[in-house]
Structure 1
Amino acid sequence: MRIPQIQIQTIDAKIELEINKPQQSIEQPKATQTIEQPAAILEIRTTRGVLQIDSSQARRDIGMLGPLESSANYAEEGKQGALEGMARRASEGRQLMENAGKGQGRAIIQNIAKQNHGPHRVPFNIKFVPSVGSVRVDYTPGTTDINIERREPIIGAKVNKPIHDYTPGKVTSTMIQRPDVNIDVII
């Protein structure tokens, strides 16, 4: 006896896929930055130094006198000379008066002449001109005040957003062969 047989034939489905890949680009622009440094404020104040030199005593020591002082000195010397001359003549007159009649006669006048006109010794010594300390120097130093005002830098930074471009991918499918199932019964 024969048993019926089932014969099954299948045809697979065939699908064709067309794939377009996605495309992505990311670009990060640099940050925009500005830096500004304002100049510092600098103030300098100075006062001048004062130098005073007084050489009037040194000038007097070497004989350089002003006209007023010079004329006053000459007037004083003249006055002293006149007083000394009057005193000398009075002394000589007294000498003549006291010794007159004592038989000396001409000898008194000769003695007075010898006193006035003999060789006189001039004092000799070393003299330093001008004298030590005759020039006075006075100095008042000046001052310098410096004031600096620091100024902070001005920094500006702007972050730029990234540039993002994205094209999504696409998958397209096409059925090339349809699936099929054939069933036959063989007796």
Structure 2
Amino acid sequence: MLLPQIRMESQMAKIAISTTPGKQSIKQPKADIDLQPAKVAMEINRTPGKLTIDQTKAWEDRNLADTFRFIEKIAEEGYQAWLEGIARLAEQGDELMKIENGGSPLADQAKENSESPMYEVNVGWIPSLFSVKFDYEPGNLDINWHLKKAEFRAIPNKPVIHYDRGRVDIKIAQYQKLKIDFANLTFKGQNFEMNI
């Protein structure tokens, strides 16, 4: 006995996809740079040194000082000699007041007053040691720098971007299909029979 059969054949649908990738290019132009260097100034202040030589004492030692200074020196020496004379006379007067104490003050004073004083002998044209005075004021040097900042300016440039969009194409490569077939199938009706 043959059994009825249903036969089905199916075909799946197929999709075809093709892609074109996107392309991107980026170019970065260099920045524009403006650099203005600043001038540097240097200021120099100089005070020269000063050397002072005082020979007044050396000239005085040689008796070659100026007239006013020479008169002043002689007057000072005379005043000093006068004071020493007064002191000597006062001392001798005190000795005479005490004559009763003994001794021979009159003879001693006569001898002392009759002796000539001891003078200091020196070569007249050689001044004394260290009679020339030196004074030195050192100079000064000031250096000042006036620094200024350099002017720097950078102007950035925007990047250049170019983009080609990608594409996706979708197509149906194969359509779906369904085939149905019957085998050994009979239809029985009244007074007839039919194969389907």
Q: Normalization by structure 2: what TM-score? A: 0.48
* Larger RCO (alpha carbons 8 Å, 6+ apart): 1
